[in-house]
Amino acid sequence: MPRIDDAALDQLFRTARSHPGFADRPVGEAVLGELTRLALLAPSGFNQQPLRIVWVTSPEGKARLAPALSRGNHDKTMAAPATAIVCWDVNFTDHLPTVWPKADVRSYYPDEEARRGSARTNALIQAGAMIVAARALGLGVGPMGGFDRGKVQAEFLAGTGWEPAFLMNLGWPATEPEGPRLPRLSVEQAARFV
């Protein structure tokens, strides 16, 4: 497998930033569908794929989301072409017979707590891949933890096994985020070689 070139590494990681604002241009459902398909290709335990996404793109959807947003996240979310409610599905086990047909592994997740733990871990791995995939498609992303989970759960996810992990604005980058990138830990701080 060849190493990708420096321009691609810059776009995916080295110059990629969290975006507070985007061009005033829609992100169509075809692009969001392609992004969803790419994220679903990320690895997950027993191929369980617990990532779920509610794509909020309409003014009506944004109005339903608004009361759940922290003050600092409100205006940029209202203005973003698309906002993902990134979720995990506690009932991912319903799909296991299809996505892991080799054996019945549903008994490995005996109760809701076990299902939730696995769903959370694996959905967040898929969500990380989704961020990189969005950047690969030329999109900018603005992930957000500042929102009321209970309100999002009640307004968008009632009656499902989906639970919100974080929100993420998406759009076509227009301006660079203000200020330089904040410091990252060194390899010595973040890793050990044994």
Ligand X SMILES: Cc1cc2nc3c(=O)[nH]c(=O)nc-3n(C[C@H](O)[C@H](O)[C@H](O)COP(=O)(O)O)c2cc1C
Which residues of the shown chain bind ligand X in the complex (CB under 6 A)?
A: 17-18, 72-73, 143-146, 166, 177, 181-182
If the CB atoms of residues 96 and 167 are measured against ligand X, the closer one turns out to be 167
Minimum CB–partner distance for residue 16 and ligand X (Å):
7
Q: What would the two tokens of residue 110 be? A: 């005996």
CB nearer to ligand X: pick between 82 and 96:
82
Q: How far apart are CA 129 and CA 139, in angstroms?
A: 14
The span from the CA of 34 to the CA of 80, in Å, is 19
Are 153 and 164 spatial neighbours (Cβ–Cβ below 8 Å)? yes
For 28, the token pair is 């169509």
Q: Which is nearer to ligand X, 2 or 180 (CB)?
A: 180
Cβ of residue 96: shortest distance to ligand X, in angstroms? 27
Q: At its nearest, how many Å lie between ligand X and the CB of residue 166?
A: 4
Q: In the complex, what is the shortest distance from the CB of residue 128 to ligand X, in angstroms, rounded to a whole number?
A: 9
- As given in the structure block, the two tokens for residue 179 are 């200020």
Nearest to ligand X of 96, 170 (CB atom): 170
Buried/exposed 67-101: b ≥16 CB within 10 Å, e otherwise:
ebbeeebbebbeebbbbbbbbbbbebbeebeeebe
Q: Which is nearer to ligand X, 31 or 144 (CB)?
A: 144
Question: Could you tell me the smallest distance in angstroms from the CB atom of residue 181 to ligand X?
Answer: 5
